[in-house]
């Protein structure tokens, strides 16, 4: 099954630790969603936004483990753009009743490293965005 990752499993080493049979397809984009933080990275519907991530092929039995590792409690199928193709993939996320919350500095750095490792643009992964969105500065 295809899995869209936008959180810690963007990191290839993290994904391989969890799911050694994972196959990396590459960068892709989820439309109609935006990145937010509810302690960990999360996505919510926003028709005007996109979220960049990595598309993986994983065995079905790993989806619940990945969901737990990402600190998510829900999963759903979404459409992602991969090159010129539109593909259906699974994604894990927080349930909407979880209020937004600033991530820890350690988590933030892990996420930045994961995006950097994969060559993903983290246009919303910067301290200015965090201050505007959540009113805080990480030190």
Per-residue model confidence as pLDDT tens digits over 1-24: 999 999 999 999 999 999 999 999
> What's the mean pLDDT in 112-133?
74
d(C-alpha 1, C-alpha 136), whole Å: 38
Q: What are phi and psi of 122, to 5 degrees?
A: -110, 65
pLDDT of residue 138: 55
Q: How many residues in total does the chain contain?
A: 139
Per-residue model confidence as pLDDT tens digits over 29-53: 999 998 888 888 899 899 998 999 9
Q: Which residues pair with 23 in a beta bridge?
A: 57
- Residue whose token pair is 């619940």: 64
CB atoms within 10 A of CB 81: 15
8-state DSSP, 11: S
Q: Which residues contact 24 (CB under 8 A, 6 or more apart)?
A: 12, 15, 54, 55, 56
Q: Please report, rounded to a whole number, the percentage of residues in the chain having pLDDT higher than 90.
A: 56
CB atoms within 10 A of CB 35: 24
Q: Which fold has domain 2-134?
A: Hypothetical upf0131 protein ytfp (3.10.490)
pTM, rounded to two decimals: 0.87
């Amino acid at each position: 099954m295809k899995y869209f990752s936008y959180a810690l499993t963007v990191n290839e080493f993290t994904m391989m630790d969890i799911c050694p049979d994972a196959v990396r397809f590459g960068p892709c984009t989820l439309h109609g969603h935006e990145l937010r933080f509810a302690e960990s990275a999360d996505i919510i519907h926003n028709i005007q936004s996109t979220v960049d991530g990595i598309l993986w092929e994983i065995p079905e039995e790993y989806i619940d483990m990945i969901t737990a590792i990402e600190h998510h409690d829900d999963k759903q199928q979404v459409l992602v753009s991969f090159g010129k193709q539109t593909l259906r993939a699974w994604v894990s996320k927080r349930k909407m009743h979880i209020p937004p919350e600033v991530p820890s500095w350690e988590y933030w750095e892990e996420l930045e490293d994961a995006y950097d490792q994969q060559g993903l643009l983290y246009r919303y992964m910067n301290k200015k965005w965090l201050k505007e969105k959540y009113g805080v500065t990480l030190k």
